[in-house]
Amino acid sequence: MSFFAGLACASPVDQRETERLGSIAITYGGGTGRVWRGDTAALVLTPRAFTPEDRLDRLPAAFMGGMSRLVFDGRLDNRDELIASLSLPAPDAARLGDAALVMAALERWGVDACPRFIGAFALAWWNEVDRRLVLAVDATGGRAIFAHGDGERLCFATRPLAVLAFAGVDRRIDEAAMAHLLLARAMPAGATPFHGVFRLPPAGLLLWHKGNCSVRRYWQPDLERRIRYRNPRDY
């Protein structure tokens, strides 16, 4: 799996933060990362090819004339459906990796594109024009994003210990969450053993804009639906 991390700030990103991202990628991503820095955000990704389409992507990728950036880890299981919905010519679509398809969908539908993605994935999308960060993970929990926010800055990574490597992040243990863990109980939704570090829920969508942060689920299962087959053997 690829590793990515980043941060979004209400004020300009310090050069030292960019250098720290490179170190985080080496330590937790297992290799030299590709770093991008904007005015108030920075991203890093250490790529690991998982599917043939992964080799077509070069992340962090630039879109919208360089005003939109994306890092992505995972795979799409409904490429053909997305390609049809986007009305992309087959020759052009064949040259696009999963990340490029995701970005095309985000540019077309915004965050409403997230329910259209089927697979195991995690993504971070930074819009330089709106100064808005979007984090999202798949509905199955196949990929994860961990984050820490203090009102002025949001740090995130696909591994929890990587979040602790950012400057100023509280390294205290969350005693309540740890008690659940030691007693073999399920931790509260979104909790981690680390104070202030949270995990996006399955189908989680985080929106950050100038210090304001919200988390919601972009998809919920229909618990009222009942599937009935004519032949009991079909169950």
**pLDDT higher than 80, residue 216:** yes
pLDDT tens digits, one per residue of 185-213: 888 888 888 989 999 999 999 999 988 99
pLDDT for residue 66 is more than 80: no
For residue range 159-168, list pLDDT tens digits in order: 999 999 999 8
The string of pLDDT tens digits covering residues 86-129 is 999 988 888 889 999 999 999 999 999 999 999 999 999 999 88
- Which pLDDT value is given to residue 94? 87
So what's the pLDDT on residue 44? 95
For every residue of the chain, DSSP letters joined together read --EEEEEEESSPPPHHHHHHHHHHHHHHHSSPPEEEE-SSEEEEEE----SGGGGG--SSEEEGGGTEEEEEEEEES-HHHHHHHTT--HHHHTT--HHHHHHHHHHHHGGGGGGG--EEEEEEEEETTTTEEEEEE-TTSSS--EEEE-SSEEEEESSHHHHHTSTT----B-HHHHHHHHTT-PPPTT--SBTT-EEPPTTEEEEEETTEEEEEES----TT-----SSGGG-
pLDDT digits (tens, 9 = 90+) for 221-234: 888 888 889 998 98
pLDDT confidence of residue 75: 93
